[in-house]
Amino acid sequence: MNKSETYRQKLAAIQDWEPYLLQESGLPGPRGNLELAQVVADLGDRGLFERFLAYTPELAPVNDPHEFLAFCGVVGLGRLLAEGDEQLLEQIRPYARDPRWRMREGVAMALQRLGRTDMPRLLAAMEGWMETWLEGSSSANWLEKRAVAAALAEPVLLHNPQDARHALRILDRITSSMQNSAEAKTEEFKVLQQGLGYCWSVVVVAAPEPGQRLMEKWLACPDPAIRRLMQENLKKNRLVRMDPAWVEKWRKK
């Protein structure tokens, strides 16, 4: 019996999940219990998820066990979103800007649940988020952009070449928005930069020809922040396995 099945049986046998989840959260520590969080997302209901999301950053700061409950809540909303509750997309969205990095990861995982059910729906939703970015200042949106990139940069979502090319176009637009930014030294910008330092490699492997062309464009970009994130992608083994000669050429350049 694997861990997930053990957790399912345990939760089925108890009524009040919270003490058990706090005990098994893995926090404080470097890694929360992701397997348990996914089981909670599978088995919980909306009332439970919203109760967990009441643990705000003030009540449940980073690495507090109660942060795990909020994390489970946002991933759980992703399950309900995937099941058809479209209104939850905007309820999930503010957590992409949460000061707690685990909550931001939870948003990416929630969106990936939608992608596993209907990738075109996820891509369309992310396009909708981008349109609202164009209407406002970039400073409020770096963390949302990171959530979108992380959600799409998941190999199991990119088996369809058309979906992979669409994901590439979204990454291209996000990267373009970073050019010559006056906010390049802000923490939010750096979070996006770090995320794109691996996201490009994931999506390029799924769509090599158009992906390599776009990467070459950004590798030649004069903006140092963009060049650095592209150089980070060249270090990823998945790109080396895809085309070692191409990677070596651009490393030398």
Q: What is the pLDDT of residues 172-203, one digit of tens each?
A: 999 999 999 999 999 999 999 999 999 999 99
The pLDDT score that the predictor gives to residue 133 is: 82
pTM: 0.95
How far does the chain reach from its first CA to its final CA, in angstroms?
A: 50
Cα dihedral 115/119/123/126 (nearest 10):
-20
Look at residue 138 and tell me whether its pLDDT is greater than 70: no
Q: If DSSP codes are grouped into helix, strand and coil, which group holds residue 198?
A: helix
Structure confidence at residue 134 as a pLDDT band (50, 70, 90): low
14-23, 130-139, 203-212, 217-226: the lowest-pLDDT one = 130-139
User: For the chain, what is the mean pLDDT?
Assistant: 95
Mean of pLDDT values over 135-141: 61
User: For the chain, what are the domain ranges?
Assistant: 1-117, 126-253
What DSSP state is assigned to residue 157? G
pLDDT tens-digit readout, 213-239? 999 999 999 999 999 999 999 999 999
Per-residue model confidence (pLDDT) at position 177: 93
